[in-house]
């Protein structure tokens, strides 16, 4: 018969701390060599195995003691997998059985939040500030006017937080896309070379965009140059780039400022979406004569490779402009696919996919 149960509350993987729940009958604490602690009052503990070898130092928080002879506590230890293995061995030797971790997607979303806006909105859900607002919306008449507009904005932000907006760098070979990609990430992430056709497979990486005192995670994609694809490898690379462009939230077309793009590419750039932009890059090498008007006119001119600090603030302003103001602290932003789907239905919207 089992002497008690334990489960890991915090997600596995590399982390500074890990949280464990242990429960069993009264007297379990002393059998495990844990000190007495008053419920609700954290106490420092040294975790030792049966031979007295120190395994870790942490904090014990007794949650329940006495009710029907039950003892339930949280143990907060260091987070490495080695500590987890020692604890498991120790507890199993004492006759405790491990249970599956709680399936609590809202808590996991908060723990795994990658940006401050992500964390804030995930915490609001966890604290029960969003579901009552959704329930009230579902119970009342269909929202209209200003109220509907506000809820649509929250739906859009919920989606942007669930799946970071994807910004794709596209353009001909050798226009400096990869150099700009590295500069934007502030990291030498991909190979850059003076030979066209360096990038083949799309490369994705994420960065934090500052946004009104908070930040939002953006996915940046570097792609292969689109040009006269002669060999099958070039063609496959260009097709992969096109798929990225199709699935983008926004596209930044990167052209070489000093040379005329191929007509097919120029037409494609001119037909770009209203939220997409055109950059004339490598402008330190000179500009081609005559600035075109209309959709062929560049939105930005600069040198992503030589003077990124002059270009990046304008590019980030563009993204902020496309995003619009983030939701305020009191606004209930739905998180998780289920809530988003429910809200979309209440608003009479079809299904996810935000290019708006």
Closest alpha carbon to 169 in 243, 239, 261, 241:
241
Find the binding residues for ligand GTP in span 296-315 (CB under 6 A): 303-306
Nearest distance in Å: CB 203, ligand GTP: 10
Say whether residue 282 binds ligand GTP (CB under 6 A): yes
Interior/surface letters 40-66, b for 16+ CB within 10 angstroms, e for the rest: eeeeebebbeeeeeebbebebbbeebe
For residue 58, the partner it binds in ligand GTP, Mg ion, none, with Cβ less than 5 to 8 A by kind, is none
The answer to whether the beta carbons of residues 55 and 47 sit under 8 Å apart is: yes
- Crossing angle of helices 177-185 and 308-323, in 10° steps, is 80
User: Of the ranges 76-84, 139-147, 245-253, 276-284, which one interacts with ligand GTP (CB under 6 A)?
Assistant: 276-284
CA distance 200 to 198: 6
Kindly determine how many residues on this chain lie close enough to bind ligand GTP according to the rule CB under 6 A.
24
Which member of 160, 199, 203, 332 binds ligand GTP (CB under 6 A)?
A: 199
Complex with ligand GTP: residue 203 or 340, whichever CB lies closer? 203
User: Of the ranges 26-34, 63-71, 136-144, 194-202, which one interacts with Mg ion (CB under 5 A)?
Assistant: 194-202
Which member of 198, 258, 259, 301 binds Mg ion (CB under 5 A)?
A: 198
Closest alpha carbon to 330 in 120, 115, 114:
120
For residue 24, the partner it binds in Mg ion, ligand GTP, none, with Cβ less than 5 to 8 A by kind, is none
3-state secondary structure string, 224-237?
A: CCCCCCCCHHHHHH
For residue 306, the partner it binds in ligand GTP, Mg ion, none, with Cβ less than 5 to 8 A by kind, is ligand GTP
Complex with ligand GTP: residue 121 or 179, whichever CB lies closer? 179
Complex with ligand GTP: residue 11 or 196, whichever CB lies closer? 196
Closest alpha carbon to 278 in 264, 297, 291, 305:
297
Nearest distance in Å: CB 322, ligand GTP: 23
Between strands 70-78 and 17-25, the pairing is antiparallel
Complex with ligand GTP: residue 58 or 225, whichever CB lies closer? 225
Per-residue contact flags (x/-) with Mg ion for residues 146 to 185, judged by CB under 5 A: --------------------------------x-------
Closest alpha carbon to 50 in 85, 90, 6:
90
CA distance 254 to 198: 15
**Angle in degrees, CA 234, 238, 244, rounded to 5:** 150
Query: Which spans of this chain sit near Mg ion (rule: CB under 5 A)?
Result: 178, 198-199
Q: Where do contacts with ligand GTP occur on this chain (CB under 6 A)?
A: 173-179, 192-194, 196-199, 224-225, 281-282, 284-285, 303-306
């Amino acid at each position: 018969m089992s002497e008690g149960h334990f489960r890991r509350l915090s997600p596995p993987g590399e982390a500074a701390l890990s949280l464990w729940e242990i429960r069993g009958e009264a007297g379990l604490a002393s059998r495990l060599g844990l000190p007495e602690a008053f419920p609700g009052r954290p106490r420092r503990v040294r975790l030792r195995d049966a031979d007295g070898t120190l395994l870790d130092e942490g904090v014990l928080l007794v949650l329940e003691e006495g009710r029907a002879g039950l003892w339930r506590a949280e143990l907060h230890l260091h987070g490495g997998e080695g500590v987890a293995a020692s604890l498991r061995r120790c507890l199993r030797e004492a006759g405790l059985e491990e249970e599956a971790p709680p399936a609590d997607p809202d808590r996991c979303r908060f723990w795994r939040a990658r940006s401050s806006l992500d964390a804030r909105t995930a915490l609001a859900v966890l604290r029960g500030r969003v579901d009552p607002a959704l329930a009230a919306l579902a119970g009342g008449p269909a929202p209209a006017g200003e109220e509907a507009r506000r809820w649509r904005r929250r739906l859009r932000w919920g989606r942007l937080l669930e799946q970071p907006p994807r910004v794709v760098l596209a353009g001909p070979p050798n226009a400096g896309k990869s150099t700009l990609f590295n500069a934007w990430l502030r990291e030498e992430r991909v190979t850059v070379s003076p030979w066209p056709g360096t990038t083949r497979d799309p490369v994705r990486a994420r960065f934090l965009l500052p946004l009104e005192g908070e930040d939002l995670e953006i996915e940046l994609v570097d792609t292969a140059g689109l040009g006269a694809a002669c060999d099958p490898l070039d063609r496959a690379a260009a097709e992969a780039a096109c798929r990225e462009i199709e699935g983008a939230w926004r596209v930044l077309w990167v052209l070489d400022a000093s040379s005329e793009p191929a007509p097919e590419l120029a037409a494609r750039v001119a037909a770009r979406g209203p939220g997409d932009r055109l950059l004339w890059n490598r402008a330190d090498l000179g500009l081609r004569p005559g600035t075109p008007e209309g959709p062929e006119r560049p939105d930005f001119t600069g040198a992503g490779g030589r003077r990124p600090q002059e270009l990046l603030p304008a590019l980030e302003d563009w993204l902020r402009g496309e995003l619009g103001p983030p939701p305020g602290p009191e606004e209930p932003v739905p998180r998780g696919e289920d809530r988003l789907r429910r809200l979309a239905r209440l608003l009479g919207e079809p299904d996810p996919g935000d290019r708006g």
